[in-house]
Chains A and B, each alone.
Chain A
Amino acid sequence: MHWFSDVNNLWVVPFYPLAAFILIVLGRAFTNGKDLFANKGFCAFLTIFATVLGLLHTVFSALPWMFHQGSQAVIEHNITWLQAGDFKLSLGYLVDSMSVMMLFVVTFISLFIQVYTHGYMKHDDGYAKFFSYLALFNFSMLGLVLSTNLFQIYIFWELVGVSSYLLIGFWFKKPSAAAACVKAFLMNRVGDFGFLFGILGFLYFTWNALPGHENVMTWTSYLAQHPDHALLSFHALPAMVQTFATQLSGQPVLITIIAILLFMGPMAKSAQLPLHTWLPDAMEGPTPISALIHAATMVAAGIYLVGRAYPIFQLSHDAMMFIAVIGTATAVVAASIALTQYDIKKALAYSTMSQLGFMMAAMGVGAFSAGLFHLFTHAFFKAMLFLCSGSVIHACEDNQDMRLMGGLGRKLPITHATYLIGCFAISGLLWTSGFWSKDMILAMAKEAPGFEFVYWSLAITAGVTSFYMFRTYFMTFWGKYRGEGHVHHEDSWMTLPLVVLALPSAFIGLLLAGLAEFPIPNLPSFFQFIHFGQAHAEHHTFVEAAFSGVGLLSTIFGVSGLALAFLFYVVAPSIPDAIRKAPIASSLFALFSRKWYFDDLYQGFVDKVYLAFARGSSTFDKEGVDGLVNLTGRAAMGTGSGLRQLQSGKLQTYVAVMFFGVITLTLFLFYCLMS
């Protein structure tokens, strides 16, 4: 236990799943999938055991350390990875309240999703491979969380991308899954392109002192003073950002551009408009993946990164505004699309996207704690909702269409109950966890000057969220069964994680935000540990607002969403069809169900613009460049075919030419000697 309780051993957490991954992959390679490694339970055991060890570390060392040390405590260790002159890149681990929070979320949710996976993938041929990928993902995600600097986080950022790619395309024999994983990879490539340029741009203006600013602290001088610190470390960002601002004081636009470039990474990873189109398609992967990677952890990495690099974004008001606008637009657009989805996983995917928009908007308005708190609570209830959907799909023999479900509440009582809790949580009703986090975002947005539109858009979206979530709930669990196949019973491997995740979904908001206002000594509150700038400032704004107008208003919106869903899908199921046929609503419905034409737009862009350009380039290459190269060849061949006419093959002609040649040369020589 001593090993687990020493916080300096926390670096080992990502290596448990890495070891499990390597063991399973090598074990299966060397035994040809026979012996021990043919045993499904063994592979699952290795992966789950690795996650349990990680969770033990988090619970027994990181959490007590954080509670004891407070929010300012930081442990950072670096090793130099590569060095060239002054320039060096480091790998290391950074333990502070933010990484501890993410460690807890990742290990806790991973653990229960892996248990669930054992039930869900029991009959799949790729069972062991699936667990090895899960372990790989865990390694990448934990490494990302513990990264000390922007370069290291970029490395793990790509690694989670690869794991996500592998897992979306897990059923790669399905063409749609194969296409979806490629799409996810490509969309993320677009974002990572900007991300890398943002990192390099920031480094460019902080690496050395520019003329006229000789006294600023730069990375060169910083690393000279602190040789054990990392280049671009998060730890040094607040100080470096001052340098950045000073050096670029003449060109504030450049600061905004670099911040927005940096933001492109989170935009793709967290499925923000307009780089979001991969996330709904990513639902082609097995459901546990949708829960773990595409709802709870990896997509939240974008929010996490924005939080980590917050000092940079804060420099530019325009960049913050950009983030807020993108986040709000994502929340609104995704919620509107979710209204029209019949595929239960697609509906949940759009709701994930919408919630990520909430978090991003929170970061944009300066509600740092609120954004991360929503990340925290959302991870629990959205993972649970996805697992519920998996349980439903499992019961309906792989049917995902809600029009063919209904009445599953009696057959799947535990799934039913936990899904209901999840719906309350995401709608922010009944003081479940979502109430606290979402209303905190709303309260902060309302207080932020110049961001009123964010508040109103998000408040209405919260009502829409409640409507579409309860729509899926009523369509799935109420009424009569509309499908044809036999409905299977719940698997206890699958219901156990649901129950465990339901507890934090219901109570964690109350525990970490609600009760913090009561004078209970030593009660930890989320905002006490995770904050940017002044501690508690955000929290008090929230508490004042939540218990006056904001909480009431959002509850009213939430309840009306619930009531409307009840009316539309239980009391009078003919209403939705009637609305769909109404004149204005029908065009809106088309807009929403075609996903605001983003996919069509991209497809059109690729077909009409990109491919046309590619064809033009290809023609230029084939005709122009290759033509020039071929021309030299043709010239040589033409000269040759002209000259070879001389080769008559008649020996006597050769002799004559030779003879008269010698004569001519001799005469020439003679002439030269004479004159």
Chain B
Amino acid sequence: MPDWLTHIGLAHFVVVSVLLFVIGLVGVLTSRSVVRVLLLVELMFSAVNLNFLAFNNYLHPTGILLGHVFSIFILTVSAAEVSVGLAIIIALYRARATADMEDYNLLKW
């Protein structure tokens, strides 16, 4: 068994976190559905949370839970954000009768 499979370290967590973030980012940039964009934003939040936890464990293997506190805080905020985001999406849908990102171009010059 190769070494990187037997010893799970910081790098693994970071790689997973980067993968999650890039998946989320590519999804946000390419999705047409606004609901999917919202979901993928949540995915990017998870990547960040994972990063916080991994680095907290790496830097303070015993005791201090600074990263944990941060990630719980982010979860709370993102829950609130999702509810507000969904409300906005519903309002947008009512106004424009579409959920397609391409059609939300009110800010165009």
Q: Which residues of A contact B (CB under 8 A)?
A: 644-645, 647-652, 655-656, 659
Contacts and interface: CB of A to CB of B under 8 A. Distances in A.
Contacts of A652: 28-30, 37, 101
A651 B108 contact: no
B29 A656 contact: yes
Given A655-B28, A656-B29, A650 B101 contact: yes
Contacts, number: 27
Contacts of A655: 28-29
Given A649-B104, A650-B102, A655-B28, 13 more contacts: A645-B109, A647-B107, A647-B109, A648-B108, A649-B109, A651-B101, A651-B104, A652-B29, A652-B30, A652-B37, A652-B101, A655-B29, A659-B25
A638 to B, nearest CB: 14
B83 interface: no
Nearest to A653: B29
Nearest to B104: A651
Nearest to A649: B108
B106 interface: yes
B19 to A, nearest CB: 16
A386 B109 CA distance: 78
Interface size class of B (residues with CB under 8 A): 10 to 19
B37 to A, nearest CB: 8
Nearest to A647: B109
B28 A649 contact: no
11 contacts: A645-B109, A647-B108, A648-B105, A649-B104, A649-B107, A650-B102, A650-B105, A652-B28, A652-B29, A652-B37, A655-B29
Contacts of B105: 648-650
A656 B105 CA distance: 16
A645 B29 CA distance: 20
Residue in A645, A651, A659 with the greatest tally of chain B CB atoms within 10 Å = A651
A648 B37 CA distance: 18
Nearest to B31: A652
Nearest to A640: B109
B29 A649 contact: no
Contacts of A647: 107-109
B32 to A, nearest CB: 9
A33 to B, nearest CB: 64
Contacts of A656: 29
Residue in B101, B102, B109 with the greatest tally of chain A CB atoms within 10 Å = B109
Residue in A644, A647, A652 with the greatest tally of chain B CB atoms within 10 Å = A652
Contacts of A650: 101-102, 105
A644 B29 contact: no
B73 to A, nearest CB: 21
